Amino acid sequence: MADKVKLYAAGGSPFVCRVQIALNMKEIKYEKLEEDLHNKSADLLNYNPIHKKVPVLVHNGNPISESLVIIEYIDDVWKGVPILPQDPYEKAVARFWGKFIDDKCIIALFKVFGSHGDEQVIAEACEQLQILENELKVKGTKFFGGDNINLVDIAAGFIAYWLGMLEEATEIKFVTKDKFPKITEWADNFVNCRVVKEVLPPREYPPKEYLLALFKEQFGKE
Ligand SMILES: N[C@@H](CCC(=O)N[C@@H](CS)C(=O)NCC(=O)O)C(=O)O
């Protein structure tokens, strides 16, 4: 029986895009179901009753939630281009960075826009970004994954693409080439990867203001 893969998505979500990159890397065909996050479908609520969020991947009827968990599932089920390292220690290190990006970095970045650019909040976000900047410097590789992208690069995709759009929409610019040369170079390489470029949402859809409102609603501290 052929695999039946469905992805519950929402226009422009960086978390959905993570999963799309992973599916693209493995060349998996899937059906994308677009959700209205202000009027979620019964299916989404049924498949992700705890968080009620996209992305949700449904593989042969089995739902999986949380983008980084979904990516690990994809990597386990479909062979081909690996997304996580095979070595158990390297794999644990990649998971560590993925978790750091979600728990520390992205939260700190969202707070900047929620706080309308409070200087202290910007300083805290820069502190987290500096950790990633140093990691890239120490590794000395093109990507966090080495010569090719891996889970860590995919997790950090928000920094490569969406962050700039939010800076533009809010006119709060704090990630510069001077301050973060390695991150800037990495971001450029990341968005130009074929598997990434093919699935990134267009810069004008959904409008930046929509994304900003969505992120503020969820993570912003007014
Ligand atoms: N930690 C989740 C975050 C997913 C997330 O925040 N999704 C947003 C869209 S960008 C969502 O579905 N929001 C709906 C809501 O919070 O009600 C993941 O990695 O999948």
DSSP for 118-159 reads -HHHHHHHHHHHHHHHHHHHHH-SSBTTBSS--HHHHHTHII
Angle between helices 107-114 and 208-219 in degrees, nearest 10: 110
pTM greater than the 0.85 cutoff: yes
Interval between CA 149 and ligand 1 midpoint (Å): 23
The pLDDT assigned to 215 comes to: 65
Encoded amino acid at 165, one letter: M
> Which residue owns the Cα nearest ligand 1 atom 2?
66
Encoded amino acid at 19, one letter: V
Atom of ligand 1 nearest to the CA of 218: 16
Residue 45's φ and ψ, nearest 5 degrees, are -65, -30
Superfamily of domain 5-77: Glutaredoxin (3.40.30.10)
- Distances, alpha carbon 148 to alpha carbons 17, 25, 40, 145, in Å: 18, 11, 36, 6
Q: Which residues line ligand 1 (CB under 6 A)?
A: 10, 13, 15, 37, 52-55, 66-68, 218
The pLDDT assigned to 116 comes to: 85
Q: Is the dihedral of CA 151, 69, 198, 101 positive or negative?
A: negative
Q: Does domain 88-219 have CATH number 1.20.1050.10?
A: yes
pLDDT at 221 over 60: no
Tokens standing for residue 110 = 């969202």
pLDDT band at 209 (very low <50, low <70, confident <90, very high): confident
Q: CB 154: neighbour CB atoms within 10 A?
A: 29
pLDDT at 222 over 90: no
Q: Which of 203, 173, 201 is nearest to 109 (CA)?
A: 173
Q: Out of 23-27, 30-34, 116-120, 200-204, which region has the weakest mean confidence (pLDDT)?
A: 200-204
Instruction: Tell me how far apart the alpha carbons of residues 68 and 33 are, in angstroms, rounded to a whole number.
Output: 19
pLDDT over 90, % of the chain: 82
Interval between CA 138 and ligand 1 midpoint (Å): 32
Query: Per-domain residue ranges for the chain?
Result: 5-77, 88-219
